[in-house]
Amino acid sequence: MVEKSVFEMILNKEIESEIIYEDEEIFAINDINPVAPVHILIIPKKKVATMNDLTEEDELLVGKMVIVAKNLAKSRNIDESGYRLLWNTNKDAMQTVFHIHLHLIGGTMLKGI
Ligand code: 5GP
């Protein structure tokens, strides 16, 4: 059996974490270890391990994740001040959870990358 990701465990309520947004395909939580005042993870309910595993079938899903992110940015009043959307993939990007997720980071002046 394929091991469950921490995000699947959160979705299944096996791990405690407030779900701050949810629809049929996507949910969002606050990052447990925030790097900025706003640090939200937008996560597909469908487990896709890394960005490398996306297929054309996922086009709409990924697009919806971006729309959810920008709506959350507006709801947190950081749409005008600015924010960063980030996907980490594999070792060099320090991906730690192998279930894709979009980081929404903002609420402060971010360092350049
Ligand atoms: P990655 O480095 O894979 O792009 O990001 C994984 C993120 O998930 C990290 O920022 C980490 O803090 C967050 N994270 C890991 N475990 C948990 C958890 O149990 N709850 C929450 N809310 N976030 C988590």
The per-residue pLDDT for range 18-59, each reduced to its tens digit, is 999 999 999 999 999 999 999 999 999 999 999 999 999 999
* Residue 98 DSSP one-character state: S
User: Which residue's CA is the nearest one to ligand 1's atom 24?
Assistant: 32
Q: pTM of the full predicted structure?
A: 0.97
- pLDDT, tens digit, 9 for 90 and up, residues 53-93: 999 999 999 999 999 999 999 999 999 999 999 999 999 99
What distance in Å separates the CA atoms of residue 60 and residue 81, rounded to the nearest whole number?
27
User: Which residue's CA is the nearest one to ligand 1's atom 21?
Assistant: 32
Domains of the chain and CATH, by start? 6-106 (3.30.428.10)
CA 92, 83, 57, 101 torsion-angle sign: positive
Q: Is-catalytic flag, 103?
A: no
What distance in Å separates the CA atoms of residue 30 and residue 11, rounded to the nearest whole number?
13
Q: Does residue 19 line the site of ligand 1, with CB under 6 A?
A: no
User: Which of these, 30, 96, 22, 108, lies nearest to 65 by C-alpha position?
Assistant: 22
Q: Does residue 6 line the site of ligand 1, with CB under 6 A?
A: yes
What distance in Å separates the CA atoms of residue 31 and residue 17, rounded to the nearest whole number?
9
